Structure 1
Amino acid sequence: MSIRIVIGGLKKEVMERAVRQAGGDHVEVTVTSDFEAAKKIKNGQADYYFGACNSGGGAALSIPIGILGYGNCATVAKAGGRPKQEEIEKLVQQNKVAFGMAVEAIEASVPMLVKALLKKHGLA
């Protein structure tokens, strides 16, 4: 089993590399637009969305919020903020499926997020 993650937003290549490094063989990664990514989740073709923008909550999540609903989306790291493992694990346990972060926090946020998702799915 592997977790299917779709990536949209800014710095997609940095995000993709971070997801692959953190998840290894347990993740399948698709880089696309935020619109296509959210549709893939809604249609059951992907499990989770990761997106980045300058603020971490605006453009990274606006399309997923519109397609998937506000309650399914969460910001894990805002601009100037640091991600926290316990907060991320709580969001994952609340069954959020779309996660936004500031571009400056990709390298810190993605490993925490992937770790929490692997743990939830019994792959950690």
Structure 2
Amino acid sequence: MVKIVIGGQIDKQQIKEDLEKLAGDKDVEITVKSDLDAAMAIQNNEADYYIGACETGAGGALAMATALLGGNKTETIASSTKVYGDEEIKNSVENGKIAFGFTINTKDRILPILAKYLLE
């Protein structure tokens, strides 16, 4: 089972609902938490992946995860200046990134790609 926590600052419940639809019948547990509790769940091995959204893709989405997990475990996959494509997201997951942040306006583009690689 893959365990995903939703942190960040914006539309957490909507991100959860979208991920549940994308997961289909895959064995996944998705939980909404505060950004601190979500990052701590990853740190304490209670969850596998962290996902967060905000207006910049890094600040409110990933600040706490970066502080607790380190920058080598986090990745901003969509910001106001750059939106990762399929291959870049795949590489992030394969290279050990476990916490992902994005701008909320890219949610419909980013989540399907991210879910594909997190739930493989």
Q: Same fold (TM over 0.5)?
A: yes
1:6-48 Cα deviation digits (max 9, x unpaired) = 0012111221111111112322100010100010011110000
1:45-93 Cα deviation digits (max 9, x unpaired) = 0000000000111221100000001100001111364331110000000
Report whether the alignment pairs 1:72 with 2:112: no
The residue number in structure 1 matching 2:86 is 85
CA distance in structure 2 between the aligned counterparts of 1:62 and 1:35, rounded to whole angstroms:
9
Q: Which amino acid aligns with 2:7?
A: G
Name structure 2 gaps, 5 residues minimum. none
Q: Name the SS for the 1:4 alignment partner.
A: strand
CA distance in structure 2 between the aligned counterparts of 1:34 and 1:25, rounded to whole angstroms:
27
The residue number in structure 2 matching 1:115 is 116
Q: Which amino acid aligns with 1:82?
A: V
Q: Name the SS for the 1:59 alignment partner.
A: helix
Q: Name the SS for the 1:51 alignment partner.
A: strand
Q: Which amino acid aligns with 1:20?
A: E
1:2-81 correspondence runs (5 A):
2-9=1-8, 10-26=10-26, 27-79=28-80, 81=82
Q: TM-score normalized by structure 1?
A: 0.89
CA RMSD after TM alignment: 1.2
CA distance in structure 1 between the aligned counterparts of 2:105 and 2:19, rounded to whole angstroms:
15
CA distance in structure 2 between the aligned counterparts of 1:88 and 1:80, rounded to whole angstroms:
16
